[in-house]
Chain A
Amino acid sequence: MAEREEWAPPWWDYWLGFCRRFARNRLAVVGLILALAMFGVGIFAPWLAPHSYAEQNLDAVEQPPSWTYPLGTDELGRDQLSRLIWGARTAVIVAPTVTLLWVVLGVLMGALAGYLGGRVETVIMRLADILFAFPGLLFAMLISATIQPRTEAWMKGITGLRELVRAGYVEFFVVILALSLVGWGGLARLVRGQFLSLKEEEFVLAARAIGVSTWGIIRRHILPNALAPIIVSISMGMGGAITAEATLSFLGIGIQPPTPSWGAMIFDNYTFWRRPFPVAFRLLWLPGLIIAAMRFAFNFLGDGLNEALSPGR
């Protein structure tokens, strides 16, 4: 039996196409660059920042930009540039963690709801609906405000964790928890929709016919087919997490000073809007613009990924 030889494209062909499609979207590329910049700055903050973010120099309060302080100082004499750089680190810690938790929860819930159906689906979807009904940020505020003092006290009690408390990490933990608990509903709904349609595919029946277990089917067969919208959600979610953390910190219930966070900087400096523009810009507008820019960046990145992942537009 002679078979005509088939030319098969090499494995990296798809990824090459993916990169090409992605690169066509200029905004997405800009978004990617900004996102990478944020991660770069955040990770290498200790080496990049010229000064410590907490070091106060009361002799040099509210200085304009100089060689020592490239972006000037704030009302406590802290270097603004360093604070912005360290603020990136906060974002880099909070955003991916929240997004990860949020994705794990959302995908797990959505997968179970979509594939198993029945009572499981009803319970999970009602839960998601309840979460939707709550104003997200208010809910996060509620969790933050109530858990924070207790968690801090509890952590102080445990010797190993006392160090973390002093380093100001309690609020990170609480903020991350609050934000991720609130945000998984949307993704769960999306994933459930995907699973509802994918489980009717014939390759799922074929997989069951060779004896693959329910969990195996969800994990190895359906999930890889449902990845595209999940990946896009991750990108959008990062932007959302950054903004949400900034909002919480701005309201004073997120990251506490002296730990730098862009939102907290707005909180600290918001009286400066009355000041002359150069001062106001450095201390107030800049953190705000950066937050907005990062949000845009992740949104564009998400859009770009969406287009690039679906070749059959």
Chain B
Amino acid sequence: MTPLLEVKDLKTRFFTQDGVVHAVNGISYTLDEGETLGIVGESGCGKSVSVLSVMRLIPEPPGRIVGGEVLLEGQDLLKMSPNEIRRVRGNRIAMIFQDPMTSLNPVLTIGRQVSEALELHMGMDKVQARRRTIELLEMVGIPQAADRFDDYPHQFSGGMRQRVMIAMALSCNPQILIADEPTTALDVTIQAQFIELVKRLRDEIGMAVIWITHNLGIIAGLAEKVIVMYAGYIVERAGVKDVYGDPRHPYTIGLLESLPRLDEVRKERLISIEGLPPDLIDLQPGCPFYPRCSYRIDRCQEEMPPLEPVELDHEIACWVDVKQ
């Protein structure tokens, strides 16, 4: 079965006055229909830039996608004309962002904003779009949707705004939903509600989801496949059970160790990974995790390890197999 989305060796750089920022350095993954992929990593590792590259929303100066292919059902999105890619955005791939406060235009009613995609891609007129929008708002759990159609974003709470964003994203029945840290700005109880909502809608529509977060806890209950990113590279790629149960890359191990656990005896200090992520302008040859790695060998400093399988459907980019 051909995967729905195939990202092959994607490279994105930002050409700034201070130098060239190597934001994404050759990542590859696939996404099947209906599959949920989690992308985890710390701030600045390239998670957002990589999905923005897929949607071709990278600001052209100073950024540029310098290599790779992004195949949506076989068609390379990177080679499409601006008109063609605009027909994909919102229509076949939809995206929701982190901050619900700023993702909505403050001077337009939310009804107008949700209808926009419907009018644009489904060719609906204002009346049809209004009807469908109200349906969508009800679907995402906005009470009294018909009345709230004409309300402005400031009249909604953060959690409700994020639901409006989902309604906007799902309005044209996209094949893929990309969620870039959508719950980071919400408080925990609302987070839980939101995730339940996305799961329910995903199962009802049969949509593939790419969920980006730095919160490992969320991915555990949500994703089937996980990619761990660091400094623009994929360092581990596996099914969710393997990543949590049997992490093999030193970075992943470090991440999981740093999480406090309920069933642990309380220690004095939390374990963290020493050091800081590398400067993406000055990327040294070799593995970017080298300075912080407890398992490093000389080879790590010289050559960047490719992503290779250590088990079935479990790949890491490391010269060392920590199991040995």
Contacts and interface: CB of A to CB of B under 8 A. Distances in A.
Interface of A: 1, 3, 5-6, 8-9, 11, 117-118, 201-203, 205-213, 216, 220-221, 224-225, 227
A206 B88 contact: no
A202 B98 CA distance: 9
Given A1-B193, A207-B116, A225 B106 contact: yes
A210 B90 contact: yes
Q: Which 9 A-B pairs have the closest CB atoms?
A: A210-B90, A211-B89, A202-B102, A211-B90, A203-B105, A210-B117, A211-B86, A209-B95, A8-B155
A6 B121 contact: no
B103 A6 contact: no
B104 interface: yes
Interface of B: 55, 57, 61, 86-91, 94-97, 99, 102-108, 116-117, 120-121, 141-144, 147-148, 150-151, 155-157, 160, 165, 168-169, 193, 196
Nearest to A198: B105
Contact of B97 (A202, A213, A220, A225): A202
A118 B62 CA distance: 12
5 contacts: A8-B151, A207-B105, A211-B89, A221-B108, A224-B107
B112 to A, nearest CB: 8
Given A206-B97, A211-B120, A212-B116, 6 more contacts: A5-B144, A8-B148, A207-B105, A208-B89, A211-B89, A224-B108
A2 to B, nearest CB: 9
A117 B61 CA distance: 10
Given A6-B157, A8-B155, A211-B117, A206 B89 contact: no
Contact of A203 (B90, B94, B104): B104
Choose among B61, B151, B156 the residue with the greatest number of A CB atoms under 10 Å from its CB: B151
A208 B57 contact: yes
B45 to A, nearest CB: 20
A220 B113 CA distance: 10
A209 B102 contact: no
Nearest to B193: A1
A110 to B, nearest CB: 18
A9 B116 CA distance: 24
A211 B121 contact: yes
**Most B CB atoms within 10 A — which of A203, A205, A208, A220?**
A203
Given A3-B141, A208-B89, A210-B120, A203 B102 contact: yes
B97 A205 contact: yes
Contacts of B150: 11
A212 B168 CA distance: 13
Contacts of A11: 150
Contacts of A5: 143-144
A213 B108 contact: no
B57 A205 contact: yes
A25 to B, nearest CB: 23
A225 B105 contact: yes
Given A8-B151, A9-B155, A11-B150, A209 B105 contact: no
A197 to B, nearest CB: 13
> Which among A1, A210, A216 has the highest number of chain B CB atoms within 10 Å?
A210
A3 B197 CA distance: 13
Contacts of A8: 147-148, 151, 155
Contact of B141 (A1, A210, A221): A1
A202 B103 contact: yes
Contact of A6 (B91, B106, B155): B155
B87 A211 contact: yes
Given A209-B90, A210-B94, A201 B107 contact: no
B107 A213 contact: no
Contact of A3 (B95, B96, B143): B143
Contacts of B168: 206, 210
A305 to B, nearest CB: 16
Contacts of A206: 95-97, 103-104, 165, 168
B143 A203 contact: no
Contacts of B151: 8
Contacts of B117: 210-211
Contacts of B165: 206
Contacts of A221: 105, 108
A201 B103 CA distance: 8
Contacts of B90: 209-211
Contacts of A201: 102
Contacts of B102: 201-203
Contacts of B55: 209
Nearest to B155: A8
A6 B156 contact: yes
Nearest to B157: A6
Nearest to A214: B82
B236 to A, nearest CB: 28
A195 to B, nearest CB: 14
Nearest to B143: A3
A202 B57 contact: no
